Amino acid sequence: MKNNNLILGLLGGITAGTVLGILFAPAKGSETRKIIADKGSELNDNLKDSVCKLTDKITQTFTELKNDSQKMLGNNSDILAEQRADLENLKEINKAVILG
């Protein structure tokens, strides 16, 4: 979460600095508008890249968690099967002892 806030803060700072720099630069209005449009497009591309990277990271983390949970469930199933087998063995031993 802190990384997301940092990224958004950096993008906001870059955007504000770029806009202010362009607005106070001595250039014709048409040139300034073109520069603003180009920078806006560049920032849009950077934002899309950041969102794609974040989405990939979330997907990767989700997949890892899913795999880990499936391994844990598989291990628990094995343990339960062993305990059931031990219980059946104990039943048989108790029958043999009781029936003598």
Highest mean pLDDT among 14-18, 34-38, 47-51: 47-51
Tell me what pLDDT residue 8 has: 80
**pTM of the model as a whole:** 0.47
Q: Which pair of structure tokens corresponds to residue 16?
A: 């504000």
* Res 41 pLDDT > 80: yes
Q: What is the pLDDT of residue 60?
A: 92
Torsion of CA 78, 83, 88, 92, to 10 degrees: 130
pLDDT at 1: 61
Residue type (1 letter), 42: E
Q: How far apart are CA 19 and CA 15, in angstroms?
A: 6
Core vs surface per residue 49-58: b (16+ CB within 10 A) or e: eeeeeeeeee
Identify the CA nearest to 36 among candidates 62, 16, 7, 55. 16
pLDDT tens figures, 65-87: 988 888 877 777 778 888 888 88
- Contact at 8 Å (CB) between 7 and 43? no
